[in-house]
Chains A and B, each alone.
Chain A
Amino acid sequence: MTQSLSKFVKELQTIVGEENATDDQAICASYSRDQHWHFVPAKNPAYIVRPANKEEVRRVLTFANNENIPVVPYSTGINVRGLTIPVHERSILLDLSRMNRIVEINPEMKTATVEPGVTFGMLLEETKKYKLRPAFPDAPLTVSVLANYYLRGIYQTSAVDGHDHTLSYEMVLPNGETIKTGSRSLSEMPYFRYGVGPDFTGVFCAHPGTCGVVTELTAKLYRLYDNRKEYFVGFEDAGTPRKIIYNLMHDELAASIRLVDNQSWLKGICGTFDYPYEKLPKFVLCVLVEGVDGIFEAKDKLVQEYITESGGTVLEFPEEFKRTFEEESLGGAEKSCMVFGLRGNYHCIGLYGPLTLAAKYYEVHEKTALEVGIPHDHIHFYINPIYSFHGQLCYFELDIFYDGGDLDSARSCGITMRSNSIGCWIWVFTAGSDLTRG
């Protein structure tokens, strides 16, 4: 049996304990790939280190810095696009999942302060006691709150929550120094985004662990309402629902607005594969209304009027579909991950763009995919409007669900995405960077 411990591992074990640092090849192999392995090749870290607190993080980073060892931070490990797959030889993978304390929930400030290992599921379990919720990404509720928000909290499932959920954080730099952003820099009060001088919270956001390791982050929480109602409206094309989506956004009427095609994300929104989705209109607009007494009824009345004039068909879905839609939108994505069951793997371009281009995005996506030989039934998309961006900005996802065991299929998927990223107007975020590595 191989048992040689390198001197580096011994040093790391003195910091985090014998059980929490290893260079065992098999243990390292378990961190070697994520879902996008076709585009980001597998690579084993040289060491896995699992610190328990920020002091251990600081000591590991200082050691790595002195020894010139690359460090890849990893929160809960639910990644796409190779964000925690090492690029360099002899990298340390810093597995922060042991740091899973919810440091504080402050119902007065409507904030939560968390460590990197706290997942959306863990957080909601606590915040719901105060009738509060975090803003959820359309990613499994097993993902890290801190890492998602630090990466800007993209593609959320609620139209009302907006984009930046981060208020402040604490980041350990490679030299062992600590940066505190926002009001943390002046006091122990972490509740305000802006401190003296520039917005350092924003400066470091969206660097996936390349500037330092965020050990604690304070984020906004949002209210949970008892009054809720759901609507599903069918359309045969992606352009017609534009008007109702605009109206719902403009009047800020719905908590969640999601336009999906009938063969992919709708299955997760409804929570079952077992339904004749193919008989539904090609696109389905899912709308969730919520609010306090009085306001809820008024909003609901307006939503119903907009639906009536939308030109769509109101779909009667079973009650459990409605419940699942609520849960997936405002309680964390679980069944949404059923899209992985369509063919096993998926790749997408996620982008922010104006609602007016919705039909164009879909057209370009479909055309380029067909051109490189992707079967029509592998091509999907969805829109999540986010009205607090102002105007008509939406999160779009141009998806292809493919069989990961079929390398040709994966290759075609990559070509499509590359073509798409030229053809579309990408505002914020594209998949292009990882494709260049594949």
Chain B
Amino acid sequence: MEQERKEEILSAIHHCVKCKLCSISSFHPAAEWLPLCPSGQFYGYQAFYAPGRMEIFREILDGEITEPSEGLLKSAYACTLCGACYERCKQITSMELRLPELFEEMRAELVKKGWALDIHKNIADKIKETRNAYGEKYEYEAKSTDGNADVLYYIGCTARYRVPEIADAMLQIFDKLGIKYQVMDEEWCCGSVLLRTGQVEAAKELMEHNIEEIKRSGAKTVVFTCPGCLMTFERNYPDMGVELLHSTQFLTRLGSMKVKKLGLEVAYHDPCHLGRDLGIYDEPRAVLNTVTDIKEMKREREEAWCCGSGGGVKSAYDEFALWSAEERLKEAKEAGAEALVSACPFCKRNLKEAADKEGKGTEVYDIVELVNRSLEG
């Protein structure tokens, strides 16, 4: 790491006063103690809260930690990078460095030292071989309706290979609304999982390919159902001169759709990348409100509890990921919701798995599934 960057990071770490208000949601005015840090809450040691994790990063940068202990790897990687700690910290201390980025850089340092998790290295290997994060060798069936369409739908690995009902729904919405679209002939993984797990170099080839493909398509707008992909394009890709929109932003912009209310009372789960990373809170609610009745949960928007699957946690620490999802499902039930709705394939996958494991019948959807169901067409 360059000296200047190291000093910037150390300065940010030195400014942490260890108040740990980052571990709970805003206490006033409701005076309710609501934990906000899934990793700290699950593992308990200080090393799993942001202040402790920063101290570990400090010792790495200062050369005091010279070996990859089990605790080091778990502290570094059993964090969903949800950013809830940062949202709280910036309200109070105007902290200058975003904590999820700080922890990503911590992982990048570990990778440089050869201390990546084997399971994350395996994902990189699969991507290298198949160009998708799941190592699947088949193609999700989707065809452009117009090779010159202004709209390109970037599907993403999870919607293509693990929760295809989301991709199906989005494509059907386009069809029902009579919107011409393109899909990429060769859509490669956006690189999010590699970047989030510190494997920065491995992501470069993917990014170059996707940039080239999108430029070649001539599309003016790229639509994403996956906030992880969208965030990666927004933050890690260079400006391609195209508009990048989440599905809910795209649908909101269309104005009124001919939809009918589904008679469902649902809670909306803010995906971390969509909400805290990109600040998109209103559009998903606006779209969802047209087809369901929304019940408010206690932790929402900037202070939403993470579903537990991001940042490479789902692949490496599934027990922790599912526990976080169970906590969210409980909160939805307490709010009186029949179903929990998100706007992210990765959230849906983890929440659904937890709901199925629990077996108490909470339904989990993505917004586009409900919109598709309620659209006349």
CA distance A79 to B20 in the complex (A): 10
A340 contact from B19, B32, B52, B71, Cβ within 8 A: B19
Give the size of the chain B interface in residues (CB under 8 angstroms).
46
Q: In this assembly, does A121 line the interface, its C-beta being within 8 Å of a C-beta of chain B? A: yes
Q: Which of the candidate stretches A23-31, A107-115, A190-198 sits at the interface with the other chain?
A: A23-31
CA distance A141 to B18 in the complex (A): 12
* A25 pairs with B55, CB closer than 8 A: no
Q: In this assembly, does B28 line the interface, its C-beta being within 8 Å of a C-beta of chain A? A: yes
CA distance A128 to B19 in the complex (A): 23
Which residues, 41 to 73 on B, are CB-close (under 8 Å) to A? 44-47, 49, 51-53, 55-56, 58-59, 64-65, 67-73
* B75 pairs with A405, CB closer than 8 A: no
A341 contact from B29, B58, B93, Cβ within 8 A: B93
Which A residues are CB-close (under 8 A) to B26?
334
**Contact A142:B11 (CB < 8 A) given known A26-B59, A31-B52, A78-B19:** no
Q: In this assembly, does A354 line the interface, its C-beta being within 8 Å of a C-beta of chain B? A: no
Q: In this assembly, does A290 line the interface, its C-beta being within 8 Å of a C-beta of chain B? A: no
Q: In this assembly, does B23 line the interface, its C-beta being within 8 Å of a C-beta of chain A? A: yes
Which A residues are CB-close (under 8 A) to B27?
121, 141, 331-332, 334
Could you list 30 A-B pairs, sorted by A, with CB under 8 Å? A1-B73, A2-B70, A3-B70, A20-B44, A25-B69, A25-B72, A26-B56, A26-B69, A26-B75, A29-B59, A30-B52, A42-B55, A48-B45, A77-B46, A95-B44, A95-B46, A121-B24, A121-B27, A124-B31, A140-B21, A331-B28, A332-B28, A334-B27, A337-B17, A337-B92, A340-B19, A341-B92, A341-B94, A345-B14, A405-B12
Given A341-B92, A341-B94, 15 other A-B residues pairs in contact with their CB atoms under 8 A: A25-B67, A26-B71, A30-B49, A33-B55, A48-B45, A78-B19, A95-B46, A121-B27, A125-B33, A140-B19, A142-B24, A334-B27, A340-B19, A344-B17, A405-B7
What residues of chain B have their CB less than 8 Å away from a CB belonging to chain A? 7, 10-12, 14-15, 17-21, 23-24, 26-29, 31-33, 44-47, 49, 51-53, 55-56, 58-59, 64-65, 67-73, 75, 92-95
Q: In this assembly, does A335 line the interface, its C-beta being within 8 Å of a C-beta of chain B? A: yes
* A25 pairs with B65, CB closer than 8 A: yes
Nearest CB in chain A: distance from B59 CB, A:
5
* B45 pairs with A334, CB closer than 8 A: no
With both beta carbons as reference points, the residue of chain B lying nearest to A24 in the complex is identified as: B71
* B93 pairs with A30, CB closer than 8 A: no
Q: In this assembly, does A313 line the interface, its C-beta being within 8 Å of a C-beta of chain B? A: no
Which A residues are CB-close (under 8 A) to B53?
30
The contact string, 1 if C-beta is below 8 Å from chain B, for chain A 303-343, is 00000000000000000000110011001101101101100
Nearest CB in chain A: distance from B73 CB, A:
8
Nearest CB in chain B: distance from A25 CB, A:
6
* A340 pairs with B59, CB closer than 8 A: no
Give the size of the chain A interface in residues (CB under 8 angstroms).
55
Which A residues are CB-close (under 8 A) to B58?
29
Nearest CB in chain A: distance from B202 CB, A:
22
Which B residues are CB-close (under 8 A) to A128?
31
Which B residues are CB-close (under 8 A) to A119?
33
Q: In this assembly, does A181 line the interface, its C-beta being within 8 Å of a C-beta of chain B? A: no
CA distance A227 to B44 in the complex (A): 40
Which B residues are CB-close (under 8 A) to A91?
none
* A344 pairs with B14, CB closer than 8 A: yes
**Contact A27:B75 (CB < 8 A) given known A122-B33, A124-B31, A125-B31:** yes
CA distance A28 to B69 in the complex (A): 11
Which residues, 8 to 49 on A, are CB-close (under 8 Å) to B? 20, 22, 24-27, 29-35, 37, 42, 48
**Contact A29:B64 (CB < 8 A) given known A78-B18, A331-B28, A337-B92:** yes
Which B residues are CB-close (under 8 A) to A332?
27-28, 31
* A404 pairs with B52, CB closer than 8 A: no
